[in-house]
Amino acid sequence: MKLYQLNLSPYTARVRLLCYAKGLDIEFAEPPGFRTDAYKQVNPVGKIPALELDDGTVLPESEVICEYLEDRFPEPAMRPADPFEAARARLLARMIDLYVIPAMSPLFGQLQAAQKDQQLIADGVTNARTAIGYLEQYIGEDGFAAGGKLSHADGALIGGLFFATSLLPLFGLAEPLADTPKLAAYWQAIQKDAIGARLIGELGEALKAAMGG
Ligand SMILES: N[C@@H](CCC(=O)N[C@@H](CS)C(=O)NCC(=O)O)C(=O)O
C-alpha cells in the first residue's frame, strides 16, 4: 500500500500514528501536486492523505483511512473498545476536523502575506479559541485523548494542537491553551508518549522547512 502524504499535514499525522503504532509496511509518497490532473487521477478530491491499496483503488479522507486500517489491522487497537470511549475518540477527532482546523485555516495565508488582513486575523483567532474550548469538556485526563491509551483521536489532536500552539502565538494569542487547563495538561502529556513525540517532531521539522528554516 502507498500513502500519499506530507509531514506538514495535520490530517496525515493521524494516519501515520496508526502506521507507527501498528508497525504497518506502507510506502509514504508525496502527491504530484495538489488538485493537479495527475493527482486527481489518484484521488479525485485532490487532497492528502490518500491511501492506495494493493489493487490500485484509492481511499481518501484521513478518518476513513484510519477506520479502514483499524478494521484491517486490528492489533494493537487504536480505537477504544468501550462504546462510549470510542464515541468520545470520534467526537474529538470530528471537533478538530469541523471546528478547530477550519477556524485556523484562513490564518495560514496570512503568514507570508505582504499586507496582513487584521479583521481576518482577529476573526480567525477568536474562532480558533472558541473551537479549542469545545475540546475541553471531552479530553481525557490521563494523558490520552480517550480510552486511557493511545488512539486515533490522539493523532487528530496532535495535528490540531500542534498548529494551534505554533500558529496562534504568531497572531497574538500567546497561550492558546490558557483557557483550557485539561487540554493544556493533555498537550504536555502526549509529548512524552513515544509516538506522540515522533509525530510532533515530524510536524515541527516540516513546519520549519516550510518557513524557510
Ligand atoms: N477532510 C480531509 C482534509 C484533507 C486536507 O485538507 N488536506 C490538505 C493538507 S493538510 C490538502 O490536501 N490541501 C490541499 C488542497 O486543499 O488543495 C481529510 O481529513 O483527509
Tell me how far the alpha carbon of residue 102 lies from the centroid of ligand 1, in angstroms.
11
pLDDT at 33 over 90: no
Q: Is the CB–ligand 1 distance for residue 35 below 6 Å?
A: yes
Cβ atoms within 10 A of the Cβ of 187, count? 21
Contact assessment for residue 78 and residue 22, using Cβ atoms and an 8 Å cutoff: yes
Per 3-state DSSP, the chain is made up of helix, strand and coil in percentages (nearest 5) of 55, 5, 35
For ligand 1, atom 1, the nearest C-alpha belongs to 61
Q: Is the CB–ligand 1 distance for residue 187 below 6 Å?
A: no
Ligand 1 pocket mutation pick from 42, 48, 69, 108 by most atoms within 8 angstroms of CB: 48
The pLDDT tens digits for 41-50 are 999 999 999 9
Distance CA 65, CA 98 (A): 17
Distance CA 9, CA 13 (A): 6
pLDDT at position 34: 84
Q: Is the CB–ligand 1 distance for residue 49 below 6 Å?
A: yes
What would the mean pLDDT of 84-101 be, rounded to a whole number? 98
Cβ atoms within 10 A of the Cβ of 145, count? 30
Distance CA 200, CA 208 (A): 12
Residues 6+ away with beta carbon under 8 Å from 202:
7, 13, 16
The pLDDT tens digits for 17-26 are 999 999 999 9
Distance CA 143, CA 160 (A): 16
Q: Is the CB–ligand 1 distance for residue 34 below 6 Å?
A: yes
Contact assessment for residue 51 and residue 3, using Cβ atoms and an 8 Å cutoff: yes
What would the mean pLDDT of 171-192 be, rounded to a whole number? 98
Distance CA 94, CA 58 (A): 22
Task: Set out the domains of the chain in order of their start, with CATH numbers.
Answer: 2-72 (3.40.30.10), 83-210 (1.20.1050.10)
The pLDDT tens digits for 50-82 are 999 999 999 999 999 999 999 999 999 999 999
Distance CA 12, CA 3 (A): 9
Question: What are residue 178's phi and psi, to 5 degrees?
Answer: -65, -30
Q: Is the CB–ligand 1 distance for residue 46 below 6 Å?
A: yes
Q: Is the CB–ligand 1 distance for residue 19 below 6 Å?
A: no
